[in-house]
């Protein structure tokens, strides 16, 4: 194979390595999990306050 037949080498490099991508994906998953749990607990708190208010008014 002569020099003219060799495939062109890539001059650019992928800006993120697979490790960086996986670490970013893990961080995003953790943040989304925390946010979902936070929303669930906030909704449960609102429901508990509503139930308490309803029970106090019935007495």
Q: What is the DSSP letter of 34?
A: H
Alpha-carbon span 51 to 45, nearest angstrom: 10
pLDDT for 45 equals: 94
For the stretch 5-57, pLDDT in tens is 666 666 667 777 999 999 999 999 999 999 999 999 999 999 999 999 988 88
Note if the pTM is more than 0.85: no
Alpha-carbon span 59 to 47, nearest angstrom: 19
């Amino acid at each position: 194979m002569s020099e003219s037949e060799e495939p062109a080498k890539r001059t650019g490099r992928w800006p993120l390595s697979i490790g960086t991508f996986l670490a970013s994906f893990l961080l995003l998953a953790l943040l989304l999990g925390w946010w979902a749990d936070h929303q669930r607990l906030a909704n449960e708190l609102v429901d508990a306050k509503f139930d308490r208010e309803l029970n106090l008014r019935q007495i």
